Amino acid sequence: MNRSATAALEWAMDEETVTAAVGQFLRNISFNAQRELERVVRSALESGQLRNGETLTTAVTLSNSQVDLDVTIFSKIEL
């Protein structure tokens, strides 16, 4: 195998590794975030703090100082 083919194969393996690692992180975050959001929303509905039909604007911040990541993503939760 020549150098360019070897480099291309190594790059593809690195891409697969990154994709798998980021995917695992996001699955973990998604599961935990959903559980926490459901818990607090149910509690707020039961206490009367929230009502069915309300919309919550919610944010998630991804941060990591090692790679200079600081992104906040906003979305709405319609009850």
DSSP helix/strand/coil, 62: strand
> Given pLDDT bands bounded at 50, 70 and 90, which one contains residue 13?
low
> Given pLDDT bands bounded at 50, 70 and 90, which one contains residue 34?
very high
How far does Cα 52 stand from its chain's mean position? 26
Q: Which residue has the tokens 């707020």?
A: 44
Q: How far is CA 16 from CA 2, 3, 23, 30, 74, in A?
A: 21, 20, 10, 21, 28
Look over the chain and give the mean of its residue pLDDT values, rounded to a whole number: 89
Find the mean pLDDT for residues 28-49: 95
Which DSSP letter does residue 1 get? Answer: -
> Given pLDDT bands bounded at 50, 70 and 90, which one contains residue 36?
very high
The torsion angle over the Cα atoms of residues 26, 31, 37 and 38, rounded to 10 degrees, is 160
Q: How many domains does the chain have?
A: 1
Instruction: Provide the whole-model pTM.
Output: 0.70
Range of the domain at 10: 3-78
